[in-house]
Amino acid sequence: MINSSVPVSIARQKGISLIIVLILLVVIGLTAASAMRGATSSQRVTNNVRMDVVAQQYAEAALRFCEAQLQLADAARVNSLKVAVIPAVDMTVGGATGAWENPVSWNGPVGAGAAAATRTALNAAQYSSATSSYLPAKAPECVAETQTLGSPTFTVTVVTARGFSPDYQADGAGNTTHGAVVWLQSILNL
C-alpha cells in the first residue's frame, strides 16, 4: 500500500539537494584555492624583502670595513686600499664619471683599470655570524677612488660597496640574473 500522506513535491525535491551540495563544494574549493594562492604570494614577498635586507647588511659590512681601512695609516691598510692603487678621477672635467660606475671595477681583473685594483672582498670572518643561517652567494666587496670636485676644487675619497643576497646569481658579464644586490656609497674627507 502506498502512503498517500507524503506529498509528491517532496519526493521530487530529493534530487535537487545533490546539485546544491555539489555547487557549494565547488565554491568552497575555489575559495580555498584562492586563499592558498594569496598565502603563497605573501610568502614570496616576505622572502624577497628578507633577501634584500640581508644583502643590505652585507653591503653595510663592506662599506664600514673599507672606510675603517682608509682611515688607517697607509702602511697598516690592506694592499688593495693603499694610496698607490686608489685611482684619482677629476670630476670637474665635463662628462667625467666615477671609477665605481665602470663595470671593469667590479668584474675585471685587478690590472684592468678603473677601480679594479681597489676591489676588496671581505672574508667570511668579517661578515658572518654564528647566529645567522644566511650566507651570501658572493662575498660583499667595495672599491675606493679619490675624486676632485667643485669650484674651488677639493678632493674626497669615495667608497662604494656591494652586498649580495644568499640567492644571488649573475651571468658571465656580471649582470644580476637572480637575487638582490645592494649598493651603498660614502664620501670621506681624509
Q: Tens digit of pLDDT for each residue in 39-68?
A: 777 888 888 888 899 899 999 999 999 999
**What CA–CA distance (Å, rounded) separates 80 from 87?**
11
Residue 48's contacts (CB-CB under 8 Å, 6 or more residues apart) are 180
Nearest residue to 161 (alpha-carbon basis) of 85, 74, 67, 90: 67
Mean pLDDT of 138-151: 91
Residue 13 pLDDT:
60
Q: What is the pTM of this model?
A: 0.76
The pLDDT of residue 87 is above 80: yes
- Taking a C-beta distance cutoff of 8 angstroms, is the pair 107, 174 a contact? yes
Residue 8 pLDDT:
57
What is the radius of gyration, based on Cα positions, of the chain?
31
